[in-house]
Amino acid sequence: MSKSLRCAVLTVSDTRDAGTDTSGNYLAETLAQAGHRCVARQIVKDDIYQIRKVLSDWIADPEVQIVVTTGGTGFSHRDSTPEAVLPLLDKEIIGFGELFRQISYAEVGSSTLQSRALAGQANKTLIFCLPGSTNACETAWEGILREQFDVAHRPCNFATQFPDED
């Protein structure tokens, strides 16, 4: 049994635009292929307050159940997604970042240490923060999110966090 979740995709980048946002495009297309709806999409500069503004709006919007961000999770001086997101969370999903780095290790080795991927919940909205590369988004989708957004995945999944609206 499938369940269509209402998702939003936020790309955090100082250089991407609608024409070059390969990671955001991948996420939006992959979510749609899995039967979910992308109800919002935006690109913002890697700025704590711009990120928080968009996320705060989406967290307050009952139409958005899940937010997936891409970008700004690295270790450079410009990467600020974790600093923007963590104060907004009511609850952190600690294992998400750990599992992402474990899966990513097979692909990028010790460079996975510089990934600060994270996830949590704010006002019943789930937020997943992924690195900016399309390969990293694919790793997260294939290794974690696909199953966790599928109501049929056992023994548990995040799709069951949202009541049916029929």
CB atoms within 10 A of CB 24: 27
Strand partners, 68: 9, 128
Q: What is the CATH number of the domain that holds 122?
A: 3.40.980.10
Asked whether residue 131 is domain-assigned, the answer is yes
Per residue in 46-86, pLDDT (tens digit) is: 999 999 999 999 999 999 999 999 998 999 888 999 999 99
Asked whether residue 17 is domain-assigned, the answer is yes
What is the residue whose two structure tokens read 């957004």?
149
Please tell me the total count of domains within the chain. 1
What per-residue confidence (pLDDT) applies to 11? 98
Q: Domain containing 117: what range?
A: 6-161
Asked whether residue 1 is domain-assigned, the answer is no
Question: CA–CA separation, 115 vs 132, rounded Å?
Answer: 10
Asked whether residue 73 is domain-assigned, the answer is yes
Tokens describing residue 110: 């010790």
Per the prediction, the chain carries an average pLDDT of 95
Asked whether residue 153 is domain-assigned, the answer is yes
Question: CA–CA separation, 31 vs 34, rounded Å?
Answer: 5
Asked whether residue 92 is domain-assigned, the answer is yes
Contact 24, 9 (CB under 8 A): yes
Question: CA–CA separation, 91 vs 101, rounded Å?
Answer: 20
Strand partners, 70: 11, 130
Angle at 17 between CA 119 and CA 27, to 5 degrees: 40
Which is higher by pLDDT, 2 or 135? 135
Question: CA–CA separation, 42 vs 45, rounded Å?
Answer: 10
Asked whether residue 166 is domain-assigned, the answer is no
Asked whether residue 127 is domain-assigned, the answer is yes
Identify the band that residue 138 occupies on the pLDDT scale cut at 50, 70 and 90.
very high
